[in-house]
Amino acid sequence: MPTETPASSQSLITRIADMQDVKEYQELNWEGSFEDYLNLVRQDPSILRSAWQRVYDMILSYGQKEYLDHKKTLVHYHFFDDEKNGGKDAIFGLDIPIMRLVNVFKSAAYRYGSEKRVILLHGPVGSSKSTIARLLKKGLETYTRTNEGRLFSFTWVLPPELQHISGGVENHPCPMHEEPLRLIPEASREAIVSELVPGETRYPVRIEGDLDPACRQIFRELMQVYKGDWSKVISHIRVNRLVLSEKDRVGIGTFQPKDEKNQDSTELTGDINYRKIAEYGSDSDPRAFNFDGEFNIANRGIVEFIEILKLDVAFLYDLLGATQEHKIKPKKFAQTDIDEVILGHTNEAEYKKLLSNEFMEALRDRTIKVDVPYITRVSEESKIYSKDFNTDKIKGKHIAPHTLEMAATWAVLTRLEDPKKHSLSLIQKLKLYDGKQIPGYTADNVKELRKETDREAMDGISPRYIQDKVSNALVSDAGESCVNPFMVLNELESGLRHHSLINADDQRTHYRELLAVVKQEYEDVVKNEVQRAISADETGLKNLFENYLENVRAYILKEKVKDPYTGEDREPNARLMRSIEEKIEVSDALKDDFRREVMNYIAAASMDRKSFDYQTNDRLRRALELKLFEDQKDSIKFSSFVSAKVTDRDEQAKFDVIKNRLIREHGYCEICAADVLEFVSSIFARGDVKEG
């Protein structure tokens, strides 16, 4: 007697069933006759795109935006943001390498020659090569599920009396997911295409290539049965929607070389099914062969070669033919046509071996190398760690402000080459790359800095090392519930002793010196932040700004200023203006230029019908904050706070106000706000206050 399903289980099953999209399932599993398929092609010729064209269109379908970076127009492709997966595999800070990669796809889509090449992603470990490949494979899977990216294959359907042709089965899907129009005899294709697609299309429509050996044999034997009546042969064809899937091994392949002694080229092109040789009497019968190599199953899509240069030389012949001629050679069969993107990636050491191996010349000649370097912008590098270490993923721990930023700063510093201009420090070069302004340097200077490098961003610390050390700091008991920059920087330093990719002592010493640079940078950052918290008196800043602006206007226009107390006209207050300008290192010789710059800002804002306040110009805002801080700092006893002897209620109230500003406006928690105040107070107490 069957047991009854509880009502709650029934309702849950019903809810799960309701969540399924039956209409989408029916669309993705569409089947029709060959004539139905021809009608689809008439309506939408893009169905006939090649694999390269489909990948290129997939990338463009997500949109793009152009922007200026140091006077150079760059394109950001939204596909690589991976928004559909919550940014899990998002690529940051690599717009230039990705532009080069997309241009290769564009060239291949228009058949300019790149479609006959292997794309080789080359770069240091941890530079996102595998992530780019994974994104392309996942994206293609998703794209073929959309109406815009659909493609089709076919199945042979044979009655019992003809099933000996297909190996005793009624339904025999094309093992290599061929384009159905390949069933049209080659001599008739051009005429059929001109009738199906009479107008202009984005890509010229072509029917190229022949059927795979298994389908070719079925086609040939049916033609014999029907004495050449092609229409009767095609009556056994059912066209079906093809959805690419790596898990189902449909249109997406991945090959990873194993031990050199165990590599077998049949993994790429399929192998004989020895159990069926006795049944069919020959190992050259397609029914006794498994067309399940990576090249076979990846037809119509993309195949990824992990560490491609570790392939045995015997594999290269298959790879070269697949690349240049779009053909593979399964054992015992004629060359077989394929249509797929071949994407490989490798690291620096393996690529150097390729350059020195004379047997690899043919591969080098058929390879388009796309360098995928490390990121050189701190703001972009920080996004990697913010994605992995955010409040959604970290429970019970708080990461103090600037912690991940300082880790990213050190990582980027290790990747930069020393500037040839001795007046420019490495940390200044880093800031210029990140879009910061440094007096005396322009966008043209940044372009020159990039051009003068040899291998910049191809060496240095990998993001994985940073991620590992941040993780160590998070699980450490030293930081209670808050992790600060010094904890992470100490982890980074201690790990250098055992870093597997650092062999030279001088390199290890250099990285430690850069950690000292980062610690000094952090000191400057938090000093400025505490200064801003102390001087965050909106009314005071506004009054100081208006007073400065009134004097600057009078100075530039050679006018007098009315004294608010006496009502008398007087000369502009030079002492006030210089006390503010000196805070941002505006020299006496350049004071007029700076004041005119401020007046130009005001004029530009007025023309745009915008108001101009002290927050509009970053340099001026910083100068006002430092001036106000200088006026107020003497009223705060930093030494008493450092020695934990704050007994005065007014004094404690001042510190509480500052701490609350840090928490409210800068993302600190109670613990790290108190820690950073104590740290900065010890600096202020000894008079070490950096202005600017």
* The predicted structure's pLDDT at residue 643: 46
* The predicted structure's pLDDT at residue 599: 84
- Which two tokens mark 334? 């004629």
Q: Is 6 helix (H, G, I), strand (E, B) or coil?
A: coil
Q: Give the number of residues written for the chain.
A: 692
CB 651 within 8 A of CB 615: no
Q: What would the pLDDT profile of 266-283 be if each residue is shown by its tens digit?
A: 889 999 888 888 888 788
| pLDDT above 70 (res 651) | no
Q: Which of 142, 123, 140, 121 is nearest to 132 (CA)?
A: 121
SS3 content of the chain, % helix, strand, coil (to 5): 55, 10, 35
**Backbone angles phi and psi of 465, in degrees to 5:** -65, -45
Residue 518: C-alpha distances to residues 385, 411, 522 (Å): 17, 10, 6
Q: What percent of the chain has pLDDT over 90?
A: 51
Cα 2 off chain centre by: 54
- Which two tokens mark 258? 């194993």
- What is the pairing mode between strands 336-337 and 64-69? unpaired
pLDDT band at 638 (very low <50, low <70, confident <90, very high): low
Q: Could you give the CA distance from residue 291 to residue 215 in angstroms, rounded to a whole number?
A: 11
Q: Is 493 helix (H, G, I), strand (E, B) or coil?
A: helix
Q: Which of 299, 365, 356, 287 is nearest to 328 (CA)?
A: 299
Q: Is 290 helix (H, G, I), strand (E, B) or coil?
A: strand
Q: Could you give the CA distance from residue 131 to residue 127 in angstroms, rounded to a whole number?
A: 9
Q: Could you give the CA distance from residue 624 to residue 614 in angstroms, rounded to a whole number?
A: 8
| pLDDT above 60 (res 635) | no
Q: How many helices (H) and strands (E) does the chain have?
A: 29, 19
Q: Is 83 helix (H, G, I), strand (E, B) or coil?
A: helix
Alpha helices in 373-424 (DSSP H): 378-388, 403-415
Q: Rounded mean pLDDT of 135-156?
A: 97
Q: How buried is 53 (Cβ within 10 angstroms: 0-12 exposed, 13-18 middle, 19+ buried)?
A: buried
- Which two tokens mark 503? 């062999």
Q: Rounded mean pLDDT of 535-553?
A: 79
Q: Could you give the CA distance from residue 550 to residue 542 in angstroms, rounded to a whole number?
A: 12
* The predicted structure's pLDDT at residue 633: 63
Q: Is 687 helix (H, G, I), strand (E, B) or coil?
A: coil
pTM: 0.85
Q: Rounded mean pLDDT of 393-406?
A: 88
Half-sphere exposure of 584 (CA within 13 A, CB side): 20
Half-sphere exposure of 168 (CA within 13 A, CB side): 5
Segment among 14-23, 501-510, 604-613 with least mean pLDDT:
604-613
Helix axes 51-61, 129-143, angle to 10 degrees: 90
Q: Rounded mean pLDDT of 132-157?
A: 96
CB 333 within 8 A of CB 214: no
Q: The sheet that has 151-157: what strands, in order across it?
A: 31-32, 237-242, 151-157, 171-173
H or E element that contains 337: strand 336-337
In eight-state DSSP terms, residue 299 is T
Half-sphere exposure of 442 (CA within 13 A, CB side): 3
Q: What would the pLDDT profile of 325-364 be if each residue is shown by its tens digit?
A: 999 999 889 999 999 999 999 888 788 877 777 767 888 8
- What is the pairing mode between strands 327-328 and 336-337? antiparallel
Rg, the chain, Cα only: 34
| pLDDT above 90 (res 61) | yes
For every residue of 556-570, DSSP letters joined together read HTT--EE-TTT--EE
Helix axes 538-556, 574-581, angle to 10 degrees: 120
* The predicted structure's pLDDT at residue 595: 86
CB 38 within 8 A of CB 196: yes
Question: What's the N-to-C CA distance of the chain in angstroms?
Answer: 84
For every residue of 141-193, DSSP letters joined together read HHHTTSSTT-EEEEEEE--GGGTTTTTS-SEEE-TT---GGGGS-HHHHHHHH
SS3 for 517-575 is: HHHHHHHHHHHHHHHHHHCCCHHHHHHHHHHHHHHHHHHHCCCCEECCCCCCEECCCHH
Q: Could you give the CA distance from residue 308 to residue 304 in angstroms, rounded to a whole number?
A: 9
* The predicted structure's pLDDT at residue 692: 43
Q: Which of 655, 654, 598, 588 is nearest to 621 (CA)?
A: 598
Contacts of 62 (CB under 8 A, 6+ apart): 77, 78, 79, 81
Provide the sign of the torsion angle of the four alpha carbons 618, 623, 628, 630, taken in this order: positive
Q: Which amino acid is at 114?
A: S
Half-sphere exposure of 569 (CA within 13 A, CB side): 4
Q: What would the pLDDT profile of 357-390 be if each residue is shown by its tens digit?
A: 776 788 888 899 999 999 999 999 999 999 989 8
Burial track 486-516 (b if 16+ CB lie within 10 A, e otherwise) = bbbbbbbbeebeeeeebeeeebeeebeebbe
| pLDDT above 60 (res 642) | no
* The predicted structure's pLDDT at residue 644: 47
Q: Is 31 helix (H, G, I), strand (E, B) or coil?
A: strand
| pLDDT above 60 (res 7) | no
Q: Could you give the CA distance from residue 609 to residue 649 in angstroms, rounded to a whole number?
A: 47
CB 252 within 8 A of CB 245: yes
